[in-house]
Amino acid sequence: MFKISSMVVAFSLAGSVSLVFAQALPTTAPAPANNPTTPEKVELGKMLYHDPRLSSSGTVSCASCHNTMLGGEDNRAGSVGVEGQVGGRSAPTVWNSAFNEVQFWDGRAASLEEQAAGPVTNPIEMGMKSWDDVVDRLEKIEGYQKAFKKAFGTESISKDNATKAIAAYERTLITPNSPYDKYVKGNKSALTEQQVRGMNLAVETGCVGCHSGPAFNGPGMFQKFPINYNGYLEAQYDFKKDKGLAEVTGKKEDEHLWKVPTLRNVALTAPYFHNGSVKSLDKAVSLMAKIQLDKKLSKDEISDIVAFLEALTGEFPKQEMPVLPIASGITFNK
Amino acid sequence: MFKISSMVVAFSLAGSVSLVFAQALPTTAPAPANNPTTPEKVELGKMLYHDPRLSSSGTVSCASCHNTMLGGEDNRAGSVGVEGQVGGRSAPTVWNSAFNEVQFWDGRAASLEEQAAGPVTNPIEMGMKSWDDVVDRLEKIEGYQKAFKKAFGTESISKDNATKAIAAYERTLITPNSPYDKYVKGNKSALTEQQVRGMNLAVETGCVGCHSGPAFNGPGMFQKFPINYNGYLEAQYDFKKDKGLAEVTGKKEDEHLWKVPTLRNVALTAPYFHNGSVKSLDKAVSLMAKIQLDKKLSKDEISDIVAFLEALTGEFPKQEMPVLPIASGITFNK
């Protein structure tokens, strides 16, 4: 798994704070030793990622909730799975997920490969009874037989290879060249004055304590949320109902632990927080400062930080639409 | 609207029947005078076509049911709209729909432009309350303001322009160079012997009485279905429950009138018939011969015709995935 190198936050004591540590987003993501990225895997993974036939109803693909034509998610509080079921967490963006140390909101998956296996058989997401059923479907389609063979060799349609291919594709979903990246690389006019103010304020306020590194999602895999909190806020935002990592582990010490989400393209991924209960980025910034850092930001300060966050919107790579293979006269649904 | 030129079916009386009339699929589709196809409209139309934010839930785009990565539909009997609602008819393919004289299964729309307006505000499909609401959403997104301006000029976001752009995009969704097209153009080895037998049999049997022309969907816009029918068949296939065009017009004479669907890429679009009640192409061919032409085909004859129909699968054009514009921190859903 990719490890984000630890970074040093340096403050210029003689005046305004600056992000001298700043790192541009890498344009490629490292792959694990047992799943080197190859064009054949990426091509197969792109097909599988966009194929709704990986769901029981034939209507929900990975891309339905993690939309690669949008900000890598669905702009909803809860995503919609098979039979119109709505999930309890807001879909995280797939863009730059290769730079997360752990996956899912609660960080329960240690790799993109492990993550990719989950939603397919989740009854309220893609609803397949088992991966064996998925493999059965794929084996009926000659085009998939060929694509798996190209990517992995003979007799190779399996859960393991399907999730490897999806992960390989996801490692190509990187959005470099944001205004921030251009600024970091030396183009000082790439950010507006307000965005520079917002950047410095994000350091001063303490946002970068958790949101740092090239993807603004580290160091550290997990953080507790919410911290400075009360019943009044809970009545509005419901942040504590979901216990985060503890929902998986059942451990008291994991309650309300969450993966630190990337801030890359955050302007594109409303609504915000794990339950999507906050619609605007202004409000999200104000709440994060209050709840996590016990700081009250002024309207102007919020605007400045939001302007900076908008500078983290990158360039989306051109992608060719996959042509999904179909077996003659075959359907998997009523 | 595009008129398919009438064609002459010629039988070679001195031996096997041949399709001397045969026409390859055109590689471009003519556009109506009030909506000439331009690259800017096509680009905008591609965005709108793939944008789930044109639905109330933000989860259903035109492409959800008419999937351009698949055979132009969803391989389901009934498509799934917002809130998991399932429609009563099987989504027709969008590929080559530019060559239909009328649109929808019941032919109630006279153009692609008119068709495009329908599903967006259909409560069980995309569920928007009104096109005014759609326009409101689009106007909030700067990227759409720019794309409409490029395609239509200033102050131009409207239902009329949105449906024109979608129709312009759909006119580019053509699948030429099927084995049949290559054969028609002179490559006599493009079809197998079985496929040639199937082609001749489709003429002899009478299939081409309705399914002829380059898209195998004319001449004639409407046909009555089912004809030679009984209670035993109805118990199995439920073809008569839906009254076709009469559901719209309320006229007795329109009962069970249907648009003649294209046979292009029919091998990719299971399940079959307006209600998707038939899963395999073999069965569809056998039922059509029996019900429409009062002929009982042998197993070999059915196989030959199916082999011919498989030769109507064309080449799918390479498409770049649209990058859908997003306004900072905006969501249209809870």
From the candidates A101, A113, A125, A301, which is the catalytic residue? A125
Q: Is B136 on the interface with A (CB under 8 A)?
A: no
Intrachain domains B39-170 and B179-310 with the same fold: yes
User: Are B57 and A67 a contacting pair at CB < 8 A?
Assistant: no
Which of B57, B77, B318 comes nearest A333 by C-beta?
A: B77
Range A117-125, long-range pairs (CB < 8 A, 24+ positions): A117/A159, A117/A163, A119/A62, A119/A65, A120/A54, A120/A55, A122/A81, A123/A85, A124/A81, A124/A82, A124/A85, A124/A86, A124/A87, A125/A55, A125/A60, A125/A65, A125/A79, A125/A81, A125/A82, A125/A87
Q: Is A249 on the interface with B (CB under 8 A)?
A: no
The mean per-residue pLDDT over the stretch B258-267 comes to 97
Q: Is A43 on the interface with B (CB under 8 A)?
A: no
Reported ipTM: the value is 0.93
Residues 6+ apart with CB under 8 A from A153: none
Which of A281, A328, A329 comes nearest B329 by C-beta?
A: A281
Identify the residue among A309, A321, A323, A332 best suited for mutation to test binding to B, counting B beta carbons within 10 A and taking the highest: A321
| Shortest CA distance from B323: residue in chain A | A69
B44, amino acid identity? L
User: Are A321 and B53 a contacting pair at CB < 8 A?
Assistant: no
In this predicted structure, what is the pLDDT of residue B221? 85
Tell me how many residue pairs between chain A and chain B have CB atoms under 8 A apart.
Answer: 134
**Tens digit of pLDDT at every position of chain A (334 positions):** 333 333 333 333 333 444 546 899 999 999 999 999 999 999 999 999 999 999 999 999 999 999 999 999 999 999 999 999 999 999 999 999 999 999 999 999 999 999 999 999 999 999 999 999 999 999 999 999 999 999 999 879 999 999 999 999 999 999 999 999 999 999 999 999 999 999 999 999 999 999 999 999 988 789 999 999 999 999 999 999 999 999 999 999 999 999 999 999 999 999 999 999 999 999 999 999 999 999 999 999 999 999 999 999 999 999 999 999 999 878 887 5
Q: What does the DSSP assignment read for B63-123?
A: HHHS-TTTTSS-S-SS-B-GGG-B-SSPPPP-TTGGG-SSBSTT--BSSHHHHHHHHHH-T
User: Are A75 and B59 a contacting pair at CB < 8 A?
Assistant: no
Which of A67, A316, A329 comes nearest B280 by C-beta?
A: A329
- Smallest CA-to-CA distance from B104 within B92, B96, B119 is with B92
- CA separation, residue B249 to residues B192, B245, B256, B261 (Å): 45, 6, 12, 20
Q: Is A177 on the interface with B (CB under 8 A)?
A: no
Min CA distance, B76 vs chain A (Å)?
6
Q: Is B137 on the interface with A (CB under 8 A)?
A: no
B277 contacts B271 by C-beta, under 8 angstroms: yes
In this predicted structure, what is the pLDDT of residue A328? 87
Min CA distance, A12 vs chain B (Å)?
31
Q: DSSP letter for B26, please.
A: P
User: Are A326 and B280 a contacting pair at CB < 8 A?
Assistant: no
B313, amino acid identity? T
User: Are A320 and B321 a contacting pair at CB < 8 A?
Assistant: yes
Min CA distance, A14 vs chain B (Å)?
34
Q: How confident is residue B2, by pLDDT bands cut at 50, 70 and 90? A: very low
The rounded mean pLDDT for chain B is: 92
- pTM beyond 0.90, yes or no: yes
Measured between alpha carbons, how far is A275 from A76 in angstroms, rounded to an integer? Answer: 9
The mean per-residue pLDDT over the stretch B57-78 comes to 97
CA B331 to chain centre: 32
Q: DSSP letter for B129, please.
A: S
Measured between alpha carbons, how far is B68 from A319 in angstroms, rounded to an integer? Answer: 14
Chain B residues touching residue A284 (CB < 8 angstroms): 329
Chain A residues touching residue B334 (CB < 8 angstroms): 76-77, 271, 276
In this predicted structure, what is the pLDDT of residue A21? 60
The sign one gets for the Cα dihedral B321, B322, B326, B331 is negative
Which of A268, A276, A324 comes nearest B326 by C-beta?
A: A268
In this predicted structure, what is the pLDDT of residue A301? 98
Q: Is A331 on the interface with B (CB under 8 A)?
A: yes
Sole residue written with tokens 């393919």: B93
pLDDT per residue as tens digits for the range B206-244: 999 999 999 999 887 899 999 999 999 999 999 999 999
From the candidates B125, B170, B301, B310, which is the catalytic residue? B125
Which of A50, A80, A268 comes nearest B69 by C-beta?
A: A50
Tell me phi and psi for residue A35, to 5 degrees: -150, 60
Higher pLDDT, B47 or A218: B47
Third-level CATH fold of B179-310: Cytochrome Bc1 Complex; Chain D, domain 2 (1.10.760)
Is position B234 annotated as part of the catalytic site? no
B residues 72-101 lying closer than 8 A (beta carbon) to A = 74-77, 80, 82-85
A113 contacts A34 by C-beta, under 8 angstroms: no
User: Are A268 and B85 a contacting pair at CB < 8 A?
Assistant: no
In this predicted structure, what is the pLDDT of residue A1? 36
Map out the domains of chain A as residue ranges.
39-170, 179-310
User: Are B328 and A267 a contacting pair at CB < 8 A?
Assistant: yes
CATH number attached to the domain at A39-170? 1.10.760.10
Chain A residues touching residue B318 (CB < 8 angstroms): 320-321
Measured between alpha carbons, how far is A29 from A168 in angstroms, rounded to an integer? Answer: 10
Q: Is A59 on the interface with B (CB under 8 A)?
A: yes
Tokens representing B319? 């498409």
Tokens representing A86? 């709505």
Q: Is A332 on the interface with B (CB under 8 A)?
A: yes
User: CB-hemisphere CA count at 13 Å for A216?
Assistant: 20
Q: Is A179 on the interface with B (CB under 8 A)?
A: no
User: Are B328 and A306 a contacting pair at CB < 8 A?
Assistant: yes
The mean per-residue pLDDT over the stretch B17-27 comes to 73
Sole residue written with tokens 């197969």: A44
In this predicted structure, what is the pLDDT of residue B7? 35
Measured between alpha carbons, how far is A6 from B119 in angstroms, rounded to an integer? Answer: 51
User: Are A321 and B323 a contacting pair at CB < 8 A?
Assistant: no
Chain B residues touching residue A332 (CB < 8 angstroms): 75
Q: Is A314 on the interface with B (CB under 8 A)?
A: no
Sole residue written with tokens 């009044």: A232
User: Are A50 and B59 a contacting pair at CB < 8 A?
Assistant: no
Chain B residues touching residue A82 (CB < 8 angstroms): 84
- Smallest CA-to-CA distance from B81 within B116, B127, B131, B133 is with B127
